[in-house]
Amino acid sequence: MLSLLKNAAGLLSAPSISSSVIGARGIARIPHWEYHIRMDNKVGKKRVAQDVLDRFKRLNNGMWIHARPGKNKQRYMKDDHFQETSLYYETCTKRECEMLDKMMTPFWLQKRFYVDDPYKNYQVRHGLDSPRVDAKGHFIRERSKILMDDTTSLKYFKDR
């Protein structure tokens, strides 16, 4: 019994993994859920996060949109309301937009214009080209609040 305890104590005190095996935390070992800025070793410049380009779309007004989470998961089990609303896009918060901008290079932050743009409805913000918050994060009213019928709004506002 005593020899078993000495053997177990020896196993516990011996390092199971040498320090040479545990390397520095390289780019390949960073978990995908952490927000980080990748650098290119050859050029020495910031590298874009491909996950952001795949999952998000940057609008010309600086806001980012993304598809609703779980929009394609088990659609047969969801109700009709979810079937309709799952096809909509969601806008990111101010903090998320700033974070996503930091993960992009200036090339991807430029305004882009396409023929028959499917995101045309999301691009228009009644003449504003910035998000609806000021530097302090307070909501800014785009225009004075008015009530009007659809024909008048279609006549004066070309956002539909």
11 within domain boundaries: no
20 within domain boundaries: no
pTM given for the model: 0.54
19 within domain boundaries: no
151 within domain boundaries: yes
pLDDT grade for 45, boundaries at 50, 70 and 90 = confident
From first CA to last CA, the distance across the chain in angstroms is: 83
For the chain, the residue count is 160
- Work out how many domains the chain is built from and give that number: 1
pLDDT grade for 51, boundaries at 50, 70 and 90 = confident
Per the structure, the complete domain to which residue 103 belongs is given by 25-156
67 within domain boundaries: yes
1 within domain boundaries: no
The residue among 41, 63, 37, 61 whose CA lies nearest residue 51 is: 37
CB 81 within 8 Å of CB 97: no
17 within domain boundaries: no
2 within domain boundaries: no
At residue 134, does pLDDT exceed 80?
no
What is the pLDDT at residue 155?
76
Q: Which residue has the higher pLDDT, 159 or 87?
A: 87
The residue among 64, 34, 61, 48 whose CA lies nearest residue 102 is: 48
